[in-house]
Amino acid sequence: MVYFAKSDALNRLPKQFFADLVVKTNAAIAKGYDVINLGQGNPDQPTPAHIVKALQDAAVNPLYHKYSPFRGYDFLKEAIATFYKREYDVDLDPKTEVAILFGSKTGLVEIGECLLNGGDTVLMPDPGYPDYLSGFALANLHMEKMPLRASNAFLPDYGAMPEHTLDKAKLMFLNYPNNPTSAVAPAGFFEETVKTAEKHKICVLHDFAYGALGFDGKKARSFLQTPGAKEVGIETYTLSKTYNMAGWRVGFALGNKSVIEAIELFQDHYFVSLFGGIQEASAKALLGPQDCVRELVQRYETRRNAFFDAAKKIGWEAEPSKGSFFGWLPVPKGFTSESFFEYALDKAHVVLAPGIGFGTGGENYVRIGLLTEPDRLTEAAERIGRLHLFD
């Protein structure tokens, strides 16, 4: 057999840090241990029944058995615009300011190839979502990190960044509510972001994947609510978290017309849009009853309270999550994030996601997923408490 070497682009792809952790987790499960896995980021609840029913009904429509329009059906783009007006009072032109994505991850990975050239500079939050790096590698971009520190509420400090770095940058990634830190961004930060982007001619991509998941009665802000935001960037959204539709792969990009057109053009050459039945069901999710979303947010808030109350009782002090379905907690003294993962798995049979997997700024932290029921979250904290690491 002839061996065909991978392209330079594929060889630039980062190693999947969490793949090794999955192997170790599965090995513990195979030994028969009762493992509580808090390291995942996969919604654990089913898609609401009325959305599933909408897909079942739409699947028999012969129109959807043909190719979809390259850029998606107008009815879904119009539903997206209606959703944003209802939820965030943001006006969008469905024809020029909305692009349908195969899940928001696709948009995050392809944006570099849509707008930048090899060697161009992109700004990435540190810690941040690891898959951003895949897009940087494929487009052969130069990355500069924006540290997210607890002392600054896990927001980038533009004033502390070198002017020459900002001048070189052509693209900036932001993500609030944040994965992995669970921080949220106030209006003032987004206003500062717009000013910084205007001054340095940087395109902003705000990853709003957890936009529906705000706690304590506080709704997360859309970047597009900020005056001038559409002049300097876009926002990506996904139905994965809001409606438990992770496997459906429905996302969209919204905002700056030139960026949306670049995404649409790029996707013209890769895709023929989503299955029409999924588009119809997605529109009904956006326009239909939202009780399921409110119930989901309450479920995650109940889980958050259960875990952080239990963590406090064992002396594991951390700021409770303000958004997303994650928690971000410091590791005990004497541990790295990776060694704490190993110790907790071995001694307590609890899986935590090491912060170093999200960038060097994540060292000394672990991320937990609020993706199991309150009693299991409480038990996970109690098991770790019995190790007496926080006495």
Residue-level pLDDT at 22: 87
Residue-level pLDDT at 274: 94
Residue-level pLDDT at 302: 97
End-to-end CA distance of the chain: 60
pLDDT per position as a tens digit, 121-159: 999 999 999 999 999 999 999 999 999 999 999 999 999
Residue-level pLDDT at 15: 85
Residue-level pLDDT at 18: 81
Residue 40 pLDDT class (50, 70, 90 cuts): confident
d(CA 297, CA 186): 19
Mean pLDDT, all residues of the chain: 96
What does pTM read for this prediction? 0.95
Residue 174 pLDDT class (50, 70, 90 cuts): very high
The residues pairing with 126 across neighbouring beta strands, listed in sequence order, are: 147
CATH of domain 8-46+291-385: 3.90.1150.10
Q: What is the mean pLDDT of residues 229-250?
A: 97
Q: What is the mean pLDDT of residues 315-322?
A: 95
Structure tokens at 183: 């921080």
Strands 169-174 and 121-126: parallel
The letter for the amino acid at 170 is K
Q: Indicate if the alpha-carbon torsion angle 21, 330, 179, 82 is positive or negative.
A: positive
**Pick from 16-20, 235-239, 252-256, 316-320: least confident:** 16-20
Q: What is the mean pLDDT of residues 226-247?
A: 97
Structure tokens at 84: 């944003």
The percent of residues above 70 in pLDDT, for the chain, comes to 100
pLDDT per position as a tens digit, 365-389: 999 999 999 999 999 999 999 999 9
Residue-level pLDDT at 293: 96
Using alpha carbons, select from 323, 324, 321, 318 the residue that is nearest to residue 305.
321
Topology classification of domain 66-287: Aspartate Aminotransferase; domain 2 (3.40.640)
Residue 348 pLDDT class (50, 70, 90 cuts): very high
Cβ-in-10-Å burial (0-12, 13-18, 19+) of 140 comes to middle
Residue-level pLDDT at 94: 98
Domain assignments of the chain as residue spans, ordered by start: 8-46+291-385, 66-287
Residue-level pLDDT at 185: 97
pLDDT per position as a tens digit, 80-113: 999 999 999 999 999 999 999 999 999 999 999 9
pLDDT per position as a tens digit, 53-89: 999 999 999 999 999 999 999 999 999 999 999 999 9
Q: Angle, to 10 degrees, between the axis of helix 104-115 and the axis of helix 257-268?
A: 100
Residue-level pLDDT at 261: 98
Q: CA triplet 386, 324, 188: central angle to 5 degrees?
A: 125
pLDDT per position as a tens digit, 276-310: 999 999 999 999 999 999 999 999 999 999 999 99
Residue with token string 């409480």:
378
Q: Is the pLDDT of residue 41 over 90?
A: no
Q: What is the mean pLDDT of residues 2-26?
A: 89
